[in-house]
Structure 1
């Protein structure tokens, strides 16, 4: 029986009352503050003032705990809009916003589908908006948007982590490596790349994300509407 179907132990008087919801909220606070390495049944129990063994009545493994924490964040991802394009854009942007609020999520999204109730509700909202799309294309379309978002947000979170690790923001990093690139481009070996770096518009992260999403949605529209 999966954790979402398994009943919780009956409540009992205690200096540290427990429930699955309290456990998940505590784990979410730890993850947001200090990353996934801060999340364990022992650390969550300590945060709740309870003995670690009491948590096993609610959650059997750390993997179950992470499944529950991820699903709690999926409650923040509620795509809205009229028509498939607005809903897919809302899906992409709300997922990105959730990852920026919960940086650790970048390490857990992707892979096997999330099957918790909030994740399923998010999926239902998206699939319902694609009701007029060929049934065989629905999951590939959603998968394409998810893949774009996952790649984009992982790149953005990697940049944020690099800033913390090096003490240099993006502009400082570019200033440090700029002279090297200029010397390299001066050799004439990379003329196309040099032209883009020197002359093309340099978009910020928000602009880059939205433009890339436009490209993707335009392609989806050409396929499903053509």
Structure 2
């Protein structure tokens, strides 16, 4: 195995074949498998089968599954459009936040692979550069803190949203159906008077969709940044 990263290592020369391969084809097939069935569906054997090739041929393009996952993540980062260079920090970070959420909704497995370690692919680095560059504070540590806080909210909120979608699929019940099924138990618990604030949530809170909740929470985070860094 070479010491070069997958980003450094060139693809093998193209050869005439009834089933041509490229790194792009390998990554695309892996993403389609993950989109359809989650990361458990991604293996060299299944990717090769989807491409009509033998598994050993893939090793010329990708040496390990970790490399393949890194390539998949980088491909998704490439789908997130950068903020306008003229955007202010608030507009720019809101654009990035919604772009990440949209990408994660298209590729639910994305949230399972981000946030654990830095990604060094060209698309991930471009995403990070343009995100940092939209926050034009003089102190670079403040830039890092602000972007870190916003992205921590974004990935946490999106991860929760994806978890709810997965729960609906595994249980066969929507959130509303689950609430109805657990309603009698919750009514008994709340009737004890031990949880008055939870009772207010159940009886008084408005029914907002996930997109509205995401935008509201994002607004709180951005308002906090504005209050901390106002002239």
TM-score, scaled to structure 1 = 0.96
Number of the residue aligned with 1:214: 219
User: Is 1:40 aligned with 2:47?
Assistant: no
Number of the residue aligned with 1:138: 143
Q: Which runs of 5+ in 2 are unaligned?
A: none
What is the DSSP-based 3-state SS (H/G/I as helix, E as strand, rest coil) of the residue aligned with 1:112? coil
State the alpha-carbon separation in 1 of the partners of residues 220 and 169 from structure 2: 31
State the alpha-carbon separation in 1 of the partners of residues 105 and 214 from structure 2: 13
Q: Which runs of 5+ in 1 are unaligned?
A: none
Q: What is the aligned length?
A: 226
Deviation of 1:133 (Å) = 4.3
Q: Is the contact between residue 134 and residue 224 of structure 1 (CA under 8 Å) also seen in structure 2?
A: no
Number of the residue aligned with 1:196: 201
Deviation of 1:201 (Å) = 2.1
Deviation of 1:33 (Å) = 1.2
Residue 9 (structure 2) aligned to one of 1, 6, 22: 6
State the alpha-carbon separation in 2 of the partners of residues 217 and 87 from structure 1: 11
User: Where does 1:83-94 land on structure 2 (aligned, <5 Å)?
Assistant: 83-94=88-99
User: Is 1:72 aligned with 2:75?
Assistant: yes
Q: Is the contact between residue 133 and residue 224 of structure 1 (CA under 8 Å) also seen in structure 2?
A: no
User: Is 1:28 aligned with 2:18?
Assistant: no
Q: Is the contact between residue 71 and residue 119 of structure 1 (CA under 8 Å) also seen in structure 2?
A: yes
Q: Is the contact between residue 78 and residue 125 of structure 1 (CA under 8 Å) also seen in structure 2?
A: no
Number of the residue aligned with 1:173: 178
Q: Is the contact between residue 137 and residue 143 of structure 2 (CA under 8 Å) also seen in structure 1?
A: no
User: Is 1:99 aligned with 2:101?
Assistant: no
Alpha-carbon distance change, 148 to 94 in structure 1, aligned in 2, over 3 angstroms: same
User: Is 1:225 aligned with 2:225?
Assistant: no
What is the DSSP-based 3-state SS (H/G/I as helix, E as strand, rest coil) of the residue aligned with 1:103? coil
